[in-house]
Chains A and B, each alone.
Chain A
Amino acid sequence: MAAFLQLDKVSKSFGSVTVADALSFEVAKGEALGIIGPNGAGKTSMFNLITGTLSPNSGAIHFDGSNITAHSAAKRCRAGMARSFQVPQPFSGMTVFENAMIAATQAGGMQGSEAENYCLDVLQQTELLDRANVLAGGLTLLGRKRLELTRALCAKPKLLMLDEIAGGLTEAECTSLVQTIKDIHARGVTIIWIEHVVHALLAVVDKLMVIDFGRKIAEGHPRTIMESPEVQEIYLGIEADA
């Protein structure tokens, strides 16, 4: 089966800083891929390249059977990609419910009461329903992170991209978040998830990839990857030295 998302030697640099160095990988339909790597490894830049917020210097990106390298972020979204931002990007002057409605009507292609009911369901799932009428700018950090997930879900994505959605959550919040993401995955949605909270990641993903200096260091079964000496040295070595 052809890959659902495929990156082929994608490179991007800002002057002397390389954020993606001939990065190639594939994600199959329905798969959940976890991404780990030290701070500044190029994880979020990779998301920006996939979603079209950044355009690569070279290489190609294929999604759902077409070459999307030159497509705008909006066009990629309408093709079925939705993301959460690591630094939350709410529509601050609009309520939580309206934020969800934008995703449902613009990206999700729904209308009227169908969109409204879908948003209410997602808000219940992400535990933001009691904040539905609050202006998004007035939410706490946790609320904003949940809003990021809500919006991404309301877009009815085929590929859901999560950028450090579990960071800063309590243990209980994290557990319920993991369950939410598992449920979404069980519905057949393909997921790429960047996360520092590794145990949350391992509870969901089928495959793990390690990135450093914009390069793929390792890729494979999550347990095998976490135990490989290479990953221990590069990713966890920071802690071992300390």
Chain B
Amino acid sequence: MSTPNLNVTRTSGVTKIAALLGLVVLIILVAAPYWAGRADMRLMGEIFLYLALASLWNLMAGYAGLVSVGQQAYVGFGGYMLFALTMFGGLHPIAAIVVTGALGAIIAVPVALLIFRLRGAYFAIGTWVIAEVFRLSFAQASALGGGSGSSLPVGIVRSLASSRSGREHLSYWLALASAVIVIAAVYFFLRSRNGLALTAIRDNELAAGSLGIDIWRTKFIVYIVTAALTAMIGALIFLQKLRISPDAAFSVNDWTAFVIFIVVIGGIGTIEGPIIGTLIFFLLRETLADLGTIYLMVLGVVAIVIMLKAPSGIWGLLRSRFDLELFPLSYRVKQNKKG
């Protein structure tokens, strides 16, 4: 009635340029086997897997407020399921990854029902305890090598591709696909009606509940989906490593502490944050890894400085300074020039 000369848009010049650049970068990355060396591809594969893990943790902790320090439970579970399904179930590794996702979702349901009774710090500790239970349980599985673990048989590895370079290309593409799929899934979820509800929960649970948002159900769905995808990433990680043991599979350092570092320094509660955080993390690791323990101390200092100086992370700082957004999630009310 009263607002004919206004319209609502979600895209802007910046998001269009970002989408175009993103597409160009993606095409270059897909073609990496034709221009990158073996070691570079290995590193990039690892970056993509961390990017996927960080994006998932960010969705869960940054938006749904579920600060879990036990996501290694699902990484390890996924890795072990890959081994079990291929070795004893006779599944092709890629089919096994898909089944692992479904199993991850199923196992997450009773876990969620249990830990959702806990709040705040108790929730965080609860998730860690659950992850330890997972680790101890798989250490008891003698068919999977018990506490010392096991290696993926050569026959299964060869079923991926017959040549070594063929396998390396495939596992690179799988890692890239997992990062792209996870980021796309997070993006489309956040853009939807449910995503708007989730963002509201991030900002104010009291008001969200009073506006008809079912907080428990929304968090539950996010937790289950995150668990399923994290398990699939876990399967991919151990398909590349070819060897699994309880300590490596359920490492809180590798699969949760580094991931939290990435999300916090990049900018929690934004899609862009984990992308920037992953790049910074690997930049630091590749330049400082030779220094041994000093590298970990530098990571700690970087984390503390960023938490003090830019509590919303590097992306949060950039966004508030320049009103930037790469993924078109927000709504903008604009004067309609034609009207």
Residues of A74-96 whose CB lies within 8 A of B = 74-75, 77-78, 82-83, 85, 89-95
A120→B212 contact, CB < 8 A: no
Pair A93/B203 contact, Cβ less than 8 Å: yes
- A121 to B4 Cα, complex, angstroms: 10
Whole-angstrom distance between the alpha carbons of A103 and B215 in the complex? 14
Cα(A121)–Cα(B3), bound, Å: 7
A77 to B209, CA, bound (A): 8
9-residue interface stretch from B14-22, B146-154, B163-171, B194-202: B194-202
B331 touches A98 (CB 8 A): yes
Beta-carbon contact of A106 and B331 below 8 Å:
no
Query: Is the beta-carbon distance between B207 and A74 smaller than 8 angstroms?
Result: no
Whether B196 and A53, one on each chain, are in contact in the complex, defined by CB atoms closer than 8 angstroms, is no
Given contacts A124-B3, A132-B333, contact A77 B211 (CB under 8 A): yes
A91 to chain B: closest CB distance in Å?
4
A142 to B269 Cα, complex, angstroms: 28
Query: Which residues on B sit within 8 Å (CB–CB) of A175?
Result: none
A83 to B208 Cα, complex, angstroms: 12
Chain B residues with Cβ below 8 Å from A89 are 204, 206-207, 210
| Shortest distance from the beta carbon of B192 to any chain A beta carbon, whole Å | 10
Flag if B1 contacts A121 (CB, 8 Å): yes
Let me know if A129 and B3 touch, CB within 8 A.
yes
Complex: chain B residue closest to A130, CB-CB: B333
A102 near B331 (CB under 8 angstroms)? no
State in angstroms the CA–CA spacing of A42 and B17 once bound together: 55
A116–B9 Cα distance when bound, in Å, is 10
B39 contacts chain A at the CB level, 8 A cutoff? no
- In the complex, A51→B193 CA distance in Å? 23
B200 close to A116 (CB less than 8 A): no
Contact with B along A13-55 (1 / 0, CB 8 A): 0000000000000000000000000000000000000011100
Contacts of B211 in A (CB 8 A): 74, 77, 82, 102-103, 106-107, 151, 155
In the complex, which residues of chain A have a beta carbon less than 8 angstroms from the beta carbon of B121?
Answer: none
A74 touching B330 by the CB < 8 A rule? Answer: no
* A105 proximity list for chain B (CB < 8 A): 193, 196
- B212 adjacent to A95 (CB under 8 Å): no
A98 — which chain B residues lie within 8 A by C-beta? 196, 199, 330-331
Q: Could you tell me the distance between the alpha carbons of A85 and B213 in the complex, rounded to whole angstroms? A: 16
Q: Which residues 138-166 of B have a CB within 8 angstroms of A?
A: none
Taking a contact as CB atoms under 8 Å apart, the answer to whether A117 and B3 are in contact is yes
Assess the A116–B8 pair: CB atoms within 8 A.
yes
Complex Cα–Cα for A168 and B332 (A) = 30
Q: Which residues of B contact A121 (CB under 8 A)?
A: 1-3
Q: Is B6 an interface residue (CB 8 A)?
A: yes
**Cα distance, A233 to B212, chains bound together (Å):** 40
Contact with B along A111-124 (1 / 0, CB 8 A): 10100110011001
| B residues near A113, Cβ cutoff 8 Å | 8
Q: Once bound together, how far apart are the Cα atoms of A133 and B199, in whole Å?
A: 16
Q: Is B204 in contact with A92, judged by CB distance below 8 angstroms?
A: yes
Tell me which of A51, A72, A102, A132 has the highest count of chain B C-beta atoms within 10 A of its own C-beta. A102
Query: Are A111 and B333 in contact, with the CB atoms below 8 A?
Result: no
A101: Cβ under 8 A from any B Cβ: yes
Give chain A residues whose Cβ lies under 8 Å from the Cβ of B196. 98, 101-102, 105-106
> Could you name 8 residue pairs across A and B whose Cβ atoms are closer than 8 Å?
A72-B214, A75-B214, A98-B196, A113-B8, A116-B331, A120-B3, A132-B333, A151-B207
Given A77-B211, A151-B207, output 4 extra A-B contacts at Cβ < 8 Å: A97-B332, A101-B331, A120-B6, A129-B6
Give residues in B with beta carbon < 8 Å to A: 1-3, 6, 8, 193, 196-197, 199-200, 202-204, 206-215, 269, 330-333
Return the 8 tightest CB-CB contacts between A and B, nearest first.
Answer: A91-B203, A77-B212, A107-B212, A89-B207, A132-B333, A120-B3, A73-B209, A116-B8
